[in-house]
Structure 1
Amino acid sequence: MAGETANSNEIVIPSITRVWYAPVGTVVPADAVVAMPTGWRSVGLTTEDSLKFNSEPNFEQVRSAQSSYPTRTFQTQDAATIEVDLQQWSGANFRAVYGGGTISEITPSGGGTAKHYKFTPPKIGSRTEITAIVEVIDGGKHYRYVFPRAMQMEGVSKDLAKTKEAILPLRLAVQGGDDVDAWYVITDDPAFALTA
């Protein structure tokens, strides 16, 4: 019986990762290496060990008197999340981390020419969905995880300690629908080639 053969070229070490986001409906890249289309924004620098993608299907089991094991297992739900800690503080990254919100320019009370800005988080019911892409690069192999609809659905906890950088925790829940794939991967990795 044929099976996988030992092949160290199929080990992936994510030497470079990037996270991008855009409004839902923005054109996604057509392949794994083309430049990102207009409308996409990079989150910039992220901590080196924080990027995670989790897929969490849920199952139910049917038990029968004639077996000590389940006699049928069926999937009832699916869920997926993306986690990454952003090192760059910007208005756009604040909006991504908090699920929306507004940024306005305010006049400083002390006068002067320096501009000041006010970030206001979104009100209940006004969080916005985004499209997200996670890029993983290992030498000449490129992978783009595409999430057509995602939403920030967790609380935000920031450590503001004197002895380390303060990060912005981006936590996205993948959204689904009958008209779009919940997520997919585009790659130029030859190990994905269709076999006869």
Structure 2
Amino acid sequence: MPTELRNCGLSTEDSLKFNTEPNFEQVRSAQSSYPTRTFQTTDAATIEIDLQQWSGENFKAVYGGGEIAEVTVASQPGVKHYKFSPPKIGGRTEVMAVVEVIDGGKHYRFVFPRCMQMEGVSGDLAKTKEAVLPLRLAVQGGDDLDAWYVLTDDPAFAPAA
């Protein structure tokens, strides 16, 4: 992985999801019971994963940015405490995300150059249940790059000769 990227740590085994959501418009004609033309109008993609490791950087990813500061607690002098403040309106940050999947000797990297956290965060802090950080990212597009792509060393992806 490039050094600019960081590992988010452990995640729940069943939470990683990548969804694409193309939208289509259909044209109907009097001469056919079926659409006579279909064209794609928009596209969207999302990534979901539940992070098991709590850290300042993971909080910032889950909440779309924010600030972390060291604070002093009067009742515990000499003990470091940290304060996380979520981003203000207009303060959300874009991130790049890479999901690496390894299947034996084959490697697949799903690359998302521009993502943004665009959902509310719902956390379950029950006494007898694991507390995870739900990372939900919406893929952003651009006119000069692919919204997402896969890099692989799998020979099954080689173009037909």
Give the alignment's TM-score, normalised by structure 2: 0.98
Other-structure match for 1:121: 86
Other-structure match for 1:108: 73
Matches of residues 161-172 of structure 1 in structure 2 within 5 Å?
A: 161-172=126-137
SS in 2 for 1:41: coil
Could you tell me which of 145, 150, 168 is aligned with 2:110?
145
SS in 2 for 1:118: strand
Other-structure match for 2:15: 50
Could you tell me which of 81, 85, 93 is aligned with 2:46?
81
After superposition, the C-alpha distances for 1:39-85 in whole angstroms (9 at most, x for unaligned) are 21111000000000001000000000000000000000000000000
Other-structure match for 2:56: 91
Q: Aligned-pair distance for 1:98?
A: 0.2
Q: Aligned-pair distance for 1:171?
A: 0.1
| RMSD, aligned α-carbons | 0.7
Could you tell me which of 116, 121, 145 is aligned with 1:180?
145
Gapped regions of structure 2 (runs ≥ 5): none
Aligned partners of 1:38, 1:192: CA distance in 2, in Å? 27
SS in 2 for 1:42: coil
Q: Aligned-pair distance for 1:107?
A: 0.5
**Amino acid across the alignment from 2:87:** P
Aligned partners of 2:13, 2:138: CA distance in 1, in Å? 21
Other-structure match for 1:13: none
**Amino acid across the alignment from 1:179:** D
Gapped regions of structure 1 (runs ≥ 5): 1-35
Instruction: Identify the structure with bigger relative contact order (alpha carbons < 8 Å, sequence gap 6+).
Output: 1
Q: What is the aligned length?
A: 161
Other-structure match for 2:100: 135
- The alignment-based identity, stated in percent, is 80
Q: Aligned-pair distance for 1:111?
A: 3.5
Other-structure match for 1:194: 159
After superposition, the C-alpha distances for 1:81-109 in whole angstroms (9 at most, x for unaligned) are 00000000000000000000000000111
Aligned partners of 1:170, 1:161: CA distance in 2, in Å? 19
**Amino acid across the alignment from 1:144:** R
SS in 1 for 2:160: coil
